[in-house]
Structure 1
Amino acid sequence: MANDRPNSMLKRRKLVVTAVVAACFGFALGATEWAQADAPTAPALSISTNTAPQQALVALPDFTPIIDRYGPAVVNISSTTNKVIHQQANPFPPNSPFYQFFHHFMAPGQNGSGPQQHEKIQSLGSGFIISPDGYIVTAGHVVRGANHVVVTLTNHHAYPAKLIGLSVRYDTALLKINAKDLPTVPLGNSDDMKVGQWLLAVGAPFGFYNTVTQGVVSAMNRPLPDDEYIPFIQSDVPINPGNSGGPLFNMKGQVVGINDQIYTNSGGYMGLSFSIPINTVMRVVQDFKDHKAIQFGYLGVEVQDVTPPMAQALHLKEPVGALVASVMPGSPAAKAGIKPGDVIVTYDNKPVYNVGQLPPMVGNTLPGTQAKVGILHRGAAETKDVLVTALPKNMAGPSGSQEPAQPAQVGKVSRMGIHVQSLTPNIEKQLNVHHGVVVVGVSEGAAAEAGIMPGMIIQQMDQQDVNSPTELEHIVASLPANQPIPLLVRQGKASIYVVVTLPKK
């Protein structure tokens, strides 16, 4: 920034000099014309002009009808949050010679700790009106934790807003302002969207109100790690801080999504934008308006990706689907007969290509729905009828009390390079596991290469349940060498399949 100011001043001076020179040159030219007034003049140059209107050579989309008709229904949202900050305490003890020196720069604290201070943080976002009586939809993170929310319309009228409901899992919020006869936006069907379709975003990036940007659909049903229940719309529509909560229009002028987040390394737009589908949004909004608790579908499985080595180990034709790593006891999946090692390839007659697609499919299923789940069980295709239930409020595993150590069977599996012991009742209760062996030592070998570490629990080997060290030794002895073998292990309260390749006997 320090170099911009001199350069701009230099440009201004050049403009002034150029203007003066042009004025002087014009005066000299006028004097010359006056001196040669009696000289013969050259014939005038004839320039042909065509005043008839011409059509554009290339047809591009014109977004002005959408903005003219539905732009007034897009609002700006300002929220204020009170944040408590703790002032840094004096790092030196009172008897230190540096204590008084440092004390001059700090506010006085009590017992060596800094006092609390309250700081108001203001943030800007966007939203859109869905009903003439003042219901407004926005992204949940725009107003989450806010003490005061103000909605400003395009006519500059500002209204205090009341938060009707907010879902963290769906990052959706519903606001209400006290107004009537407001302009509204029509809602589309996000399930009908196709990759390549034109899109239009309206919002307030960096506080620049009523900004319009355009792009196309880049991908549909895009999963993101921190929002497993949202099948995002990915686009290349430029979105920046302040666009959050604003509408994403299709070419019919219908809202098909809420602009929610971007993928960036710099804090600004880098070509990857993600929006929440309007079908997902309105399911939550309707529950807000009806004052109902939001429920999520629950299958009761932990799943992971099917990598090419894992597909080979499971004897699958291609690496697709969601590999079931564990099944919760008594869950809908357990009651339907789904087991660890099964690969879910369809859900409710929709294909499941990767693990990220399954959670939003299940989460958006209404509890009480009978869903057909297509699986591959040891390579054979099966269909399970699963009665989807509501996601339990407390998903944490049971916490057991400490018990005296129980005697455990210990064994060595030389072909894997590990020492294992049988489960104790304490481990079974704490981790809610009912079979497997605990890895107590790892040396160089097949297990170490697969990432096995002490403390892990081996539950399956080649899709066969393991109940004791002796049983694991027998299973390993019967397996071929130099071929990928699926191994189910549990670390803490999470289970995962890994691939292990055994050496020759």
Structure 2
Amino acid sequence: MKPALRALAFLLQFATIGLAVAFVITRLWPDAGGWLRGDAPASADAPVAPAGSRSVGQVSYADAVAKAAPAVVSIYANKVITERQQVLYPDPVTQKLFGISVGPAYQRRQQSLGSGVIVGSDGYVLTNNHVIARSNDIQVLLSDGRFAAARLVGGDEDTDLAVLKIAATDLPTMKLTDSPTPAVGDVVLAIGNPFGFGKTVTMGVVSAVGRQLNQWTYEDFIQTDAAINVGNSGGALINAYGDLVGINTANLPQQYGAEGIGFAIPVATAKEVLDQIVAKGIVVRGWIGIEYGRVSVAANSGLPAAARGAQVYDVYPQSPAALAGLQPADIVLKFDGADILDAVDLRKREAATPPDTTVKIEGLRAGIAFEAQVTLVQRPVLNRQGQVPNP
């Protein structure tokens, strides 16, 4: 046999033996290939993401909806409005002489559409105050098809929340205490009765927290891109596990060029209002008697660009702040020893302080430090012009 053929036969025999050995090794030790390549061995103790962690997504949220939806109700609030018809004279000369004539008064019925959340087996329902404001007949449609007349227990215009009571049994409820604080990026579902279509679920994420619209006095909204339409107001905003995290309240309409910008009241705020209305019929808040907002930073003020605190815009006459000597343009830096981050922070601390409590306010007046002792009173009901109405 020629040397070249002998060499080729030797190589073929060697390759055949190598393949046979490799086959036997892989059969007896399946992980040997990864070990030879230098891969890390698989460990039985390797951590696995828990089912409830934020990093684990879900294919369906049907279980969450099934848990929460039965406690979401549709609200139909009726009110009677008295109007007078304006009559225009057909003759331009007569119209110029006598103007517009007012006809006889007539009444018409107006219905507001909204949603609500049953928060107690004894019949308490949370909704938005603007849904039922000035209504004289409120009807609640339950998930099982029953209608129930609702009684207004109390409303809070400052947070746009209201509490209703219905006389019905076997009510599904949602708890206000077991919900974790939502974080930006969490999946949320809005449940309500948009446009009267019936119970509807929309999905989105938490876009932001701590938002203000400057529409109500106390605002700490959850912003979401879950669709919130007319009729969703007062409905439930739940997380991916069916827990209530907010009460749907408002959206930015498309006429402003907005798309997917809705707002919900956090469940913590809703619980505070619910507890006080059920116990007292109203929400009691402390009040010092000033209007305030973001600190205006002038170039020569000596304050940092991101100045903390709240600047006094106006002082109500005869209010606790007026009696303590606070003045417009004062900058409040501390409230009862606590640093004030911004106007929202001051508003929360002021509201949480019981009436008849005396606190020390520290701040700056024309760049000079000052202190004042202020005894809070119960916050009065302010009119639409932000004034204390006459008794």
Alignment partner for residue 313 of structure 1, among 300, 318, 328? 300
Alignment partner for residue 266 of structure 1, among 241, 255, 260? 255
* Residue 63 of structure 1: aligned partner: 61
Residue 168 of structure 1 deviates from its aligned partner by 1.9
| Conserved 8 A contact 1:244-1:261 | yes
| Conserved 8 A contact 1:188-1:256 | no
1:9-158 to structure 2, matched below 5 A, reads 59-60=57-58, 62-92=60-90, 112-158=101-147
Q: Aligned residues: percent identity? A: 36
Alignment partner for residue 390 of structure 1, among 364, 370, 378? 378
Residue 75 of structure 1 deviates from its aligned partner by 0.6
For 1:315-371, what per-residue CA distance to the aligned partner results, in whole angstroms no more than 9, with x for missing partners? 102243321244456644466675544323455677655445533442344324565
* Rounded Cα–Cα distance in structure 2 between residues aligned with 1:299 and 1:292: 22
Residue 86 of structure 1 deviates from its aligned partner by 2.0
* Residue 249 of structure 1: aligned partner: 238
| Conserved 8 A contact 1:250-1:256 | yes
Unmatched runs of 5 consecutive residues or more in structure 2? 1-55
* Rounded Cα–Cα distance in structure 2 between residues aligned with 1:389 and 1:168: 18
* Rounded Cα–Cα distance in structure 1 between residues aligned with 2:256 and 2:170: 38
Q: 1:353 to 1:187 in 2, by over 3 A?
A: same
* Residue 359 of structure 1: aligned partner: 347
Q: 1:398 to 1:64 in 2, by over 3 A?
A: closer
* Residue 181 of structure 2: aligned partner: 192
Residue 65 of structure 1 deviates from its aligned partner by 1.9
Determine if the alignment matches structure 1 residue 171 to structure 2 residue 171. no
* Residue 310 of structure 2: aligned partner: 322
Structure 1 residue matching 2:86: 3-state secondary structure? coil
Alignment partner for residue 269 of structure 2, among 280, 297, 320? 280
* Rounded Cα–Cα distance in structure 1 between residues aligned with 2:348 and 2:231: 26
The amino acid across from 2:303 in the alignment is L
* Rounded Cα–Cα distance in structure 2 between residues aligned with 1:350 and 1:238: 38
For 1:62-104, what per-residue CA distance to the aligned partner results, in whole angstroms no more than 9, with x for missing partners? 42222112211111111222222322213357995999xxxxx
| Conserved 8 A contact 1:229-1:364 | no
Q: 1:251 to 1:146 in 2, by over 3 A?
A: same
The amino acid across from 2:222 in the alignment is I
Residue 314 of structure 1 deviates from its aligned partner by 2.1
* Residue 181 of structure 1: aligned partner: 170
Structure 2 residue matching 1:69: 3-state secondary structure? helix
* Rounded Cα–Cα distance in structure 2 between residues aligned with 1:327 and 1:282: 31
User: RMSD between aligned alpha carbons?
Assistant: 3.6
* Rounded Cα–Cα distance in structure 1 between residues aligned with 2:158 and 2:149: 25
* Residue 214 of structure 2: aligned partner: 225
The amino acid across from 1:262 in the alignment is N
| Conserved 8 A contact 1:248-1:257 | yes
Q: 1:62 to 1:86 in 2, by over 3 A?
A: same
For 1:125-184, what per-residue CA distance to the aligned partner results, in whole angstroms no more than 9, with x for missing partners? 110111112111111111112222111111111112122212222211111111112110
| Conserved 8 A contact 2:225-2:262 | yes
| Conserved 8 A contact 1:240-1:268 | no
1:341-360 to structure 2, matched below 5 A, reads 341-345=329-333, 347=335, 352-360=340-348
Structure 2 residue matching 1:317: 3-state secondary structure? coil
* Residue 278 of structure 2: aligned partner: 289
TM-score (norm 2): 0.71
Range 368-377 or range 128-137, more displaced: 368-377
Residue 232 of structure 1 deviates from its aligned partner by 2.1
1:468-479 to structure 2, matched below 5 A, reads none
Residue 220 of structure 1 deviates from its aligned partner by 2.4
* Rounded Cα–Cα distance in structure 2 between residues aligned with 1:329 and 1:96: 49
| Conserved 8 A contact 1:221-1:357 | no
* Rounded Cα–Cα distance in structure 1 between residues aligned with 2:359 and 2:317: 19
Q: 1:151 to 1:92 in 2, by over 3 A?
A: same
Q: 1:379 to 1:63 in 2, by over 3 A?
A: farther
| Conserved 8 A contact 1:323-1:341 | yes
* Rounded Cα–Cα distance in structure 2 between residues aligned with 1:279 and 1:182: 22
Structure 2 residue matching 1:113: 3-state secondary structure? strand
Range 296-305 or range 126-135, more displaced: 296-305
Residue 241 of structure 1 deviates from its aligned partner by 0.4
| Conserved 8 A contact 2:88-2:95 | no
* Residue 287 of structure 2: aligned partner: 298
| Conserved 8 A contact 1:307-1:319 | no
How many residue pairs end up in the alignment?
Answer: 329
The amino acid across from 1:125 in the alignment is G
Structure 2 residue matching 1:138: 3-state secondary structure? strand
* Rounded Cα–Cα distance in structure 2 between residues aligned with 1:364 and 1:61: 42
| Conserved 8 A contact 1:315-1:378 | no
* Rounded Cα–Cα distance in structure 2 between residues aligned with 1:373 and 1:223: 25
For 1:374-427, what per-residue CA distance to the aligned partner results, in whole angstroms no more than 9, with x for missing partners? 63455577887754331245784799xxxxxxxxxxxxxxxxxxxxxxxxxxxx
Q: 1:373 to 1:218 in 2, by over 3 A?
A: farther
Residue 249 of structure 1 deviates from its aligned partner by 1.5
Unmatched runs of 5 consecutive residues or more in structure 1? 1-57, 100-110, 400-505
Range 58-67 or range 252-261, more displaced: 58-67
The amino acid across from 1:84 in the alignment is T
Q: 1:126 to 1:334 in 2, by over 3 A?
A: same
| Conserved 8 A contact 2:355-2:377 | yes
Structure 1 residue matching 2:168: 3-state secondary structure? coil
TM-score (norm 1): 0.57
Structure 2 residue matching 1:192: 3-state secondary structure? coil
